[in-house]
Amino acid sequence: MSSVPSAPGRPQPVLSPLPSAAVFLVVTVDPGGEAVARDVLAGLAGWERAVAFPYPDGGLSCVAGVGADAWDRLFGAPRPAALYPFRELTGARHQAVATPGDLLFHIRATRLDLCIALTAEIMKGLRDAATVQDEVHAFAYYESRNLLGFVDGTENPVGSDAVDAALVGDEDPGFRGGSYAVVQKYLHDMDAWERLPAETQEKIIGRTKATNVELDAPGSHKDVNSITAPDGTELRILRAAMPFGRPGHGEFGTYFIAYARDPQVTETMLERMFLGTQTSGPDPLLDYSRAVTGTRFFVPSADFLRSIPRG
């Protein structure tokens, strides 16, 4: 018998604005840990309220996602219509690797301590039932810039456009209010990047560095990531990428996360980035930024999580 709750609707805080701090936590569920994982997902909203309550201005939120293999183990059928594992892409010069991940926790707040506190509660709940595959502590950097020095997320949809881009609707009514999330951790070669003149950097990105003005730069990062439907409509996703770094270890990067109503939009962008097209090569930014993780999740609605039976 299926253990999928039948209460789709109100979304998790996928549409929350970019915060000052975030934690990205990806884990795999150990064999026999399925019941514990379901309990953690069901209890997540309560932990979030408890941590956030003394700090009403902290903006704490958490989005939880479930990978394709874990979905079958945790809930069985039915499953979200477009949920399948991250597809590894290998081009002539660059590779989008696929890495393990059963559960994603995207935790955001105005303060890193709140993110850490909620992460700690989640890990207490998952103790002896899951293995951490990746944990990244991210932060806002200057004027919404990444560590390469450019403003990030300029083309993000807002308002009803964000809802249309990120949230599943009537096309999959059993999972209305959900979203598909793709995460990748990129490490930047800052030494090589900083040796480039600003004008060269701008041609690679497709925007000016100081003012963020869009440039006419065919084949640039901006150009490669702009895709349209056959009728000319721009296809969009909701990005929530943030910078991270450990200067003492020489590690500087961007944690990319994209929420989409249709995950094929994100996949098409990645194909253009890593494989190129008939008219242009792969994304030139990949010569300076390397993907070291890649995982895909379905983010069920908040109502779905709350209706999971507790063990």
pLDDT band of residue 56 (cuts 50, 70, 90) is very high
Query: Catalytic residue at 189?
Result: no
For the segment 59-106, what is each residue's pLDDT rounded down to a tens digit? Answer: 999 999 999 999 999 999 999 999 999 999 999 999 999 999 999 999
Query: How far lies 13's CA from each of 36, 200, 303, in Å?
Result: 23, 38, 12
The band of 3, judged by pLDDT with boundaries at 50, 70 and 90, is low
Going by pLDDT thresholds of 50, 70 and 90, the confidence category of residue 237 is: very high
Give me the residue spans of the domains in the chain.
21-306
> Any long-range contacts for 228-235 (C-beta under 8 Å, 24+ apart)?
235/262, 235/265, 235/268
Catalytic residue chosen out of the listed positions 152, 172, 262, 287: 152
Say what the pLDDT of residue 5 is.
57
**pLDDT at residue 8 in the model:** 59
Cis status of the peptide bond prior to 78, with omega within 30 of 0? yes
Q: Could you report the per-residue pLDDT of 146-201, keeping only the tens digit for each? A: 999 999 988 899 999 999 999 999 999 999 999 999 999 999 999 999 999 999 99
| Contact (CB, 8 A) for 34 and 81 | no
Pairs from 262-266 (Cβ < 8 Å, separation ≥ 24): 262/82, 262/180, 262/235, 263/82, 263/180, 263/182, 263/296, 264/82, 265/227, 265/235, 265/236, 265/237, 266/180, 266/182, 266/237
3-state SS of 42-67? HHHHHHHHHHHCCCCCCCCEEEEEEC
